[in-house]
Chain A
Amino acid sequence: MILHAVERVLQTILVLLVISFVAFMLIATLGDPLGVLLPPDATMAERNALIARLSLDQPLMQRFLSFLGGIVQGDFGLSYRTQEEVGGMILERLPATAELAIASLVITILIAIPAGILCGVRPKALVSRVIMFVSIAGITLPNFVVGILLIAVFSVQLGWLPSFGRGQTVSIGGLETGLLTWSGWRAIILPAITLAAFQMTFVIRMLRTQLMEVGQSEHIRFARARGLSEARIWFVYAIRNALLPTVTMLGLQLGNIIAFSVVTESVFAWPGLGSLFLQSVQAADIPVIAIYLIFVGAVYMLINLAVELSYPLIDPRLKRRGA
């Protein structure tokens, strides 16, 4: 059990090293950092200082090691576009994206899990059929079309909610948050639903399939024969077996969700990491693109590692087998 965990952690570190190397090679081979970062009238001393700062005078492997060392210490290099520290730019944008991600996750949990359970327990009911029909939209509609549709209905037609920006933000300990103001709450609703559309559909369909399968299995029939109440059967026994594959599959979709956050942030002019990445792609700002690649890879790997290592908590059978 512990051996397996250690092995998986080492694998994850290895993959992250590979990703970092690819990202480093992008920075090392593309673009002309001296030409972009130095003012035209720079002195030789300034030039040498920048060369030392970016360690351009060292062999490639040495530079990769100092690149890794920099990342560990929070030094992510300089952006070619704004000439600022990449780390600072990311930190400034991170709260907006984190708020959006958390809001969409809350919406997913509040809506998709009950809806998925309903569809799995009563697959033939009219409500379930309606939910399944609507959920086709979440899978087939491109993310930006969902956003435009929501804006057209709720901001243009009905005028209930704003269509862009974060509303008013409050600063707490240096971090800006929009979740403490009324306008911030109103502003986050539409983008959060847009981002949640894909996850919700995914969770509903997975839960339904899993529950319908689990419902056929021996232990559920046995529980029914023992005379347990339907509620207890589904919510205590069946849900445990259905939740594990759903969480696993959702973890594997994380990359997609991050990509959709770029699109959602663009549609709603949400000032988060996604729009930073988009601006960097448009300006070919390789250092920011490379760091974003590492960031996305790290988030994906770590969350999937956490999901996998938490299996025994959700499914006790695995604990016994592993021990």
Chain B
Amino acid sequence: MTAVRGALHAVRSAPGPSMAAAVIVGLFLYALVVPLFAADPFRLSGMSIMDSFTPPVWMEGGNPRFPLGADDQGRNLLTAMAYGLRTSIIVGVSSVLIGLVLGGALGLLSGFVGGRTDAVIMRIADVQLAYPALLLAMVIDGIATAVYGRERSAGLAITIVIFAIGIALWVQFARTIRSSVMVERDHDYVAAALVTGRSKIAIVLQHILPNVMAPVLVIATINLGIAIITEATLSFLGIGIPLTHPSLGALIRNGNAYLQSGEWWISAWPCLVLVLLVIAVNVLGDHLRDHFNPKLRGRS
């Protein structure tokens, strides 16, 4: 876990990334703490049509109960966004973990075994590279609709979205881990472990894996940004997570319909939160990349 400790140190020593880390921690707290105290604004019993289109508190007609205003259904945007952000974070983190495990396993296999196994896995990766994560996730969701039908529970829909994004992300993990493993494979410590009679699986998992963690951490952070944007885009397009379930993308989609009539706050706040989160994650990812690979410093 030296990679994690090195990353933490790298973040603390620079002002931009530590600000980004602070923003991420703040948003995580907002998403995890607010739902503990506020009722789910997406539950029908908590809504009141009387409160719909309440503007933010500093504008005329504002109500202190709705600091950031309310949407067309009278949902409090401050709490609705916390619930939406929680979905974004859960989906983003879980799908990156799935991409990491899937890509990690295939990358280790490809790099350590080599030969025909490597060729097959890498050709599949090449073909998949023609399709970006967003497009693949959409296709996988369409296939899931064909298998499970239109009417499916919110829980199943979220699981499908997590897997759709996770599967779409595996290639980069696999390629990175494969190239790192190929470098590590020829080191003396691997030969030494082989001589002492350790099994190949043990060598890969216990000796090689810890040494390739640094680039994986960088890819994971950068992909977290991609996963969050992908989830928000899917929800915005009305695919995947049902509109009755809170998500930032769905809030923006909903608010977009009222942009023309001047109710800007319904879509502006969720946009702002989403952009803040994505920028913070990207700044952190860029910084970690530069920290672990000084050669890349200054490149776009």
A interface residues with partner B (beta carbon < 8 Å): 15, 18-19, 26, 30-31, 139-145, 148-149, 151-152, 155-156, 163, 205-206, 208-209, 252, 255-256, 258-260, 262-263, 266-267, 277-278, 280-286, 289, 293, 296-297, 300-301
Interface flag for B119 (CB, 8 Å): no
**Number of contacts between A and B (CB, 8 Å)?**
118
CB <8 Å contact, B279 and A297: no
> A144 — which chain B residues lie within 8 A by C-beta?
233, 236-237, 252
Known: A19-B127, A148-B259, A282-B239. A259 touches B142 (CB 8 A): no
Choice from A18, A206, A260 contacting B127 with Cβ under 8 Å: A18
Contact A263 B300 (CB under 8 A): no
A281, B141: Cβ atoms closer than 8 Å: yes
Give the chain A neighbours of B139 by CB distance below 8 A: 281, 289, 293
Contact A263-B233, Cβ < 8 Å, known A18-B127, A31-B146, A145-B271: yes
- Tell me the dominant secondary structure on chain A's binding face: helix
Interface members, chain B 226-268 (any A CB < 8 Å) = 229, 232-233, 236-239, 252, 256, 259-260, 262, 264, 267-268
Whether B134 sits at the interface, judged by CB under 8 Å, is yes
A142-B232, A148-B259 given; A26·B143 CB < 8 A: yes
Residues of chain B within 8 A (CB-CB) of A155 are 260
B127 to chain A: which residues have CB within 8 Å? 15, 18-19, 297
Q: From known contacts A26-B143, A30-B146, A256-B132, infer whether A145 and B138 are also in contact, taking CB-CB under 8 Å.
A: no
Chain A residues contacting B300 (CB-CB under 8 Å) are 205-206, 208-209
Interface residue tally for chain B (C-beta within 8 Å): 41
| Across-interface contacts of B238 in A (CB, < 8 A) | 282
A148 and B256 contacting across the interface, CB-CB below 8 Å: yes
Bound: A30/B237 CA distance, A:
23
- How far in angstroms is the closest Cβ of chain B from A14? 9
On chain A, the residues within 8 Å of B132 by CB distance are 255-256, 258-259
In the assembled complex, B274 has its CB within 8 A of some CB on chain A: yes
Residue of A nearest to B280 (CB): A140
Closest to A266 in B: B237
Residue of A with least CB distance to B146: A284
B287 to nearest A CB, angstroms? 14
The chain B residue sitting closest to A207, CB to CB, is B300
Give the distance in Å from the alpha carbon of A201 to the alpha carbon of B300 in the complex. 10
